[in-house]
Amino acid sequence: MKKPAYLAAAVVAVAIAVTGFLAFSRDEAPQVGYVLLDGSRENFADLRGKVVVVNFWATSCVTCVKEMPDLVDTYRKYHERGFDLVAVAMSYDPPAYVSNFAETRQLPFKVAIDNTGEVARQFGDVKLTPTTYVVNKRGQIVKRYVGEPDFAQLHQLIERLLSEA
């Protein structure tokens, strides 16, 4: 009768160890290219060495529109310290709407249009907006938010990542 108890304890211990390991493992951000509103092309690989927020959004998403001023404030607060932000408009969002939104709100950061949906697919097949990824200087995804982030918590994370070598 004691064997099953030991076996169960061993299985639980292994499960905890694996879960702990996965919680601290970091995925590389995809090195996928994207097209900015002005038609220029860039690649996430070009942003290595910076702390980057990648925000998937849509003009039809109420929460996305609501969080944009906070994203603008975040960008302005940290940009001079090696921080960048790329707002990736979802493939179903009409480019004219995205362009109008970015222009009327004078978004200071990079706005990409994911016409084909490839950027969203490369980032884990993003379907829900807003979805926000935080990428460290080494190009590793360290945090993912689905829904509006807690901006105080996000700023603490950015501060920590900017201070890393």
Grade residue 165 by pLDDT with cuts at 50, 70 and 90. Answer: confident
What is the percentage of the chain residues whose pLDDT exceeds 90?
Answer: 84
The CA-based angle 28-109-78, given to 5 degrees, is: 75
Please give the residue that has the higher pLDDT: either 156 or 19: 156
Grade residue 120 by pLDDT with cuts at 50, 70 and 90. Answer: very high
Number of C-beta neighbours around residue 141 at 10 A: 18
Mean pLDDT score, 114-131:
97
Which of 3.40.50.720, 3.40.30.10, 3.40.50.10800, 3.90.260.10 is the CATH number of 27-163?
Answer: 3.40.30.10
**Cα(15)–Cα(18) distance, integer angstroms:** 5
The reported pLDDT for the residue numbered 6 is 44
Q: Are 37 and 148 in contact (CB under 8 A)?
A: no
The reported pLDDT for the residue numbered 26 is 67
The reported pLDDT for the residue numbered 3 is 52
**Cα(5)–Cα(143) distance, integer angstroms:** 37
Pairing of strands 41-43, 33-36: antiparallel
Token pair 């509103």 in the structure block, residue: 37
What is the percentage of the chain residues whose pLDDT exceeds 70?
Answer: 84
The reported pLDDT for the residue numbered 63 is 98
Task: With a cut of 50, say whether residue 10 has pLDDT above it.
Answer: no
